[in-house]
Amino acid sequence: MRKIKITALFCVSLLTATPPADAQKAFSLSHFADSVLMVRYWRANIDTNYVTRPQTKWTLTGRFNVSGSTISAEGKAHGKYFETRLSADKKATVSVGVNYLGLGLNLSINPAKILGKYSDYELGFRSYGKRVGFDITYQDAHNYKGWTEVDGARQDVTTSEDLFRLKTANLNAYYVFNAHRFSYPAAFVSSYIQRRSAGSFLLAASAMWQKGEIKGEGSGVTEGRKPIDYKMTHIGIGGGYGYNYVPAQGWLLHHSALPTLIVYSSSTFTEGDNKLSLHYRFPWLIVTARSAIVKQIGSNKFAGLSVVYNFTGVGNRDNLSIHHQKWLARVNFGLRL
């Protein structure tokens, strides 16, 4: 028994003797990292008459997101005029985000995906920086609904993976010239607060990659036609303007539009053994528009609604014209600590 007591006392002495040094080291490292982040956080190079940083270190945000996409095509094939419009299943997600001195982490779940009611795949990554930011989205969809019309005869269409599958990737980036007075983050992630109205000219770059497969036969889309594969790659450069309007204290209304002209395009269509190219014609466009409403509630809460819309238009009606639309709507509520 005495041996057991001595052993127990020895273990307790180890536990009480070693952690203080480790704890002190951990505290020093934590304090150093916190100091570095604080310097980075406050050294933002902004005009504080127009834009400020929140006075708190932590921001907790809850979001409800809904996204959708639509593809439409029209032109002439086999001597007949056709028009098709299809919309993918909408995706709804719930997310929770944590931000500490400008560094954030976000977790999203899709309830319909978990319950097996949503089978498409979609991934998004967004970064709204003070001067530079971007959106990246990828979607692999096959559940589309809509209609097709050939020489005036319209027919409803519901697709599946056995009939139609479309993979799409979008990249949209911006550069803000008046970043010390105009804040994109104030409108979309609330890591800044816009105090007075301000606008800025924007430089923009866009890219889109798309691959589609129409495999089924006997439907309104492929009646009497061979399976079709097509690939598209477009890169655009342009610019636009964004404006943050502050109508009253605690309110922010944002809108920006960034049209880009496609400067590189590669498009191929394969129907059976026939391979066709969609020749470039000026002007083809990729347009990104963003809108937001933000309300500061008291000293440490905020709520907002935002929409990001992306449009790509290529081709011409005499041969083949394709329009792709992608949008994301988001409602959020946040708490600063």
Q: Does residue 63 sit in the same domain as residue 23?
A: no
Number of domains in the chain: 2
pLDDT given for residue 2 in this prediction: 46
Q: Does residue 115 sit in the same domain as residue 259?
A: yes
Query: Cα 329 to the chain's mean position, in Å?
Result: 10
Q: What is the CATH number of the domain that holds 54?
A: 2.40.128
Share of the chain above pLDDT 70, in %: 81
Q: Does residue 139 sit in the same domain as residue 28?
A: no
Q: Does residue 210 sit in the same domain as residue 226?
A: yes
Assign 9 a pLDDT band (cuts: 50, 70, 90): very low
Q: Does residue 38 sit in the same domain as residue 161?
A: no
Q: Does residue 39 sit in the same domain as residue 121?
A: no
216 contacts 271 by C-beta, under 8 angstroms: no
pLDDT at 201 over 70: yes
Report if pTM > 0.75: yes
Q: Which helix (H) or strand (E) holds 9?
A: helix 2-17
Q: Does residue 64 sit in the same domain as residue 39?
A: no
pLDDT tens digits, one per residue of 180-192: 999 999 999 998 9
Structural domain of 24? 1-43
pLDDT tens digits, one per residue of 127-170: 898 999 999 999 999 889 999 898 888 999 888 877 888 999 99
Q: Does residue 122 sit in the same domain as residue 11?
A: no
Q: Does residue 214 sit in the same domain as residue 305?
A: yes
Please state, in angstroms and rounded to a whole number, the distance separating the CA atoms of residues 168 and 137.
8
pLDDT tens digits, one per residue of 304-332: 999 999 999 887 777 778 899 999 999 99
Q: Does residue 54 sit in the same domain as residue 35?
A: no
Q: Does residue 149 sit in the same domain as residue 194?
A: yes
Please state, in angstroms and rounded to a whole number, the distance separating the CA atoms of residues 334 and 323.
36
Q: Does residue 260 sit in the same domain as residue 317?
A: yes
pLDDT tens digits, one per residue of 35-56: 666 666 667 789 999 999 988 8
Return all residues near 6 (Cβ < 8 A) that are at least 6 apart: none
